[in-house]
Amino acid sequence: MSSLYWIRRDVRLADNPALLSLLNDKHLLPSDLENKPQAANDAPKYALFISTPQQWQQHHLAPIKADLLHRHLELFATQLAEIGIHFIHLQANDFSDQVERLVEFCQANNIQHLVANREPERNEIERDQQVIEAGLDLQLFDCDTIAPLGKILNQQGEMFKVFTPFKKAWVNYIREVGVQYRDPPQSTPTSRSSHKKASLDQSQKSVPQSEPILFDYPRVDSSHWPLIDDVQAQVIPDFLANKVADYSQQRDIPSVKGTSCLSPYLAIGALSARQLAAQLIQRDPQVLYHSEHPSFAWLNELIWRDFYKHLLHHHPRLITGECFQTKYNRLMWRNDNADFQAWCEGKTGYPIVDAAMRQLRQTGWMHNRLRMIVGSFLTKHLLIDWHWGEHFFMSQLIDGDFSANNGGWQWVASTGCDAQPYFRVFNPILQSQRFDPNGDFIRKYLPELKNVPNKQLHFPHDYLSKQGKSEQYWPPLVEHKFARQRAINFFKQS
């Protein structure tokens, strides 16, 4: 009986329970091994990835993220070959077509059991149910959170509605249980021999070939982001050794590389959050016992990631676009198309907002502090529906992740779980002065303002007017004081 590992959001060897299950032949029944002791060695093992361009379009997959995924699939195919697993790529249109292609492949290759790592979103859950209803034996594993979904609950047995008590319960759980990280499988002479035999057998089976891997989807070059093997060998060790201790001081300064920049690899599943937590705790065990520990600020970000994924697990209605605080579902946003387009293009007249949006469009990434600033500006200054920003971010971000993106947007819009209060409206000028005081970041992405003095840079309109250069930079879409009061009044009416 052949076996199949269905690749989804998990293009990695390390901490991949579905892949390890396939390699350990845990799906084989005792009768299989009794009747044919060599069944585990003789049966071919496949890893299948089925791209879905139409579904990706519906989910606003960023072309730069598609390219990062493509590069890592090519790497993953090579890694799988080294442990005796033959990689196959098929293409479908959407999830429904993906199910049909999967069933056809399994029937043609006598595959009765397949393993995969779970995806928590609604469309993905419905797709997996269709696979089971089609008669395939699909075994699902969890590997996307550090603390298992459903394990961090309050005294009433429910999901927390505030982050801080969730964090405390999360830390207590990890202290007691530890991080269940799984090491990657190792290549052996036997596995290489098995792979060669499986490759020879392909001519006798209806297994389609996929060399090279082709995506019928727009892609933007992501080569300035290294592949995960280089990240694991160099970037992560360097961050843990030299940067994590200063993370709390450096993380909010956009002109400094003070963050880990690992989120793109987490988003496509090339990297495991459990691996990162395990490495940090192994290096600094006291991080779990002292919140003032220098490394805790970064661990706190990993806990926030878990928080939003646990929230999605307990409240699947969030996937349908609902506000966590349901009273805000009735908000009548202004939704001015011209204002939204100006925000997207970085033409709001607020330098920190415009530089951040240009960073996003040019690089596919945006600094976390800037995500809060531009999100607050869209929802509070312009009163534009946070869903518009959520979708635009997903269409641009190399690290687009539904739960984190949804949680972040609902946080800035004051509609989410443990969100900032509606009356907190970021002042983009003060934010700019505080986190980019010398204008290093602004000047990088707004070269038209390179000669404006630091004192006037953060809102340069009066200065440019006096210099006779008003046309050099966009006028502000709205005045801050007016926008703040308008936003407070708007939310009060809900």
Binding site membership: which residues? 247, 259-263, 298, 301-308, 399-401
Binding residues for FAD: 247, 259-263, 298, 301-308, 399-401
Q: Which of 300, 322, 333, 454 is flagged as catalytic?
A: 333
CA distance 319 to 413: 17
CA distance 488 to 423: 5
CA distance 362 to 95: 31
Q: Which of 6, 56, 225, 409 is flagged as catalytic?
A: 409
304, with CB counted inside 10 A (0-12, 13-18, 19+), is middle
Structure tokens at 376: 């607050």
| Contacts for 360 with CB less than 8 Å, ≥ 6 apart | 366, 393, 396, 397
Residue 5's SS3 state is strand
DSSP letter (8 states) at residue 350? -
25: left (phi over 0), alpha (psi -120 to 50) or beta: left
Catalytic status, residue 474: no
Q: Which of 93, 123, 300, 304 is flagged as catalytic?
A: 304
Burial 252-287 (b: 16+ CB within 10 A, else e): bbbbbebbbbbbbbbbbbbbbbbbbbbbbbeebeeb
Catalytic status, residue 304: yes
Question: Pairing mode, if any, of strands 86-91 and 137-141?
Answer: unpaired
Catalytic status, residue 386: yes
Q: Which of 100, 301, 322, 448 is flagged as catalytic?
A: 301
| Contacts for 133 with CB less than 8 Å, ≥ 6 apart | none
Among candidate residues 192, 430, 158, 429, the one with its CA nearest the CA of residue 310 = 158
Q: Which of 6, 170, 225, 386 is flagged as catalytic?
A: 386
CA distance 115 to 128: 11
With vertex at residue 120, the alpha carbon angle to CA 307 and CA 80, rounded to the nearest 5 degrees, is 110
Q: How many CB atoms lie within 10 A of CB 243?
A: 18
Active site residues: 301, 304, 333, 368, 386, 409
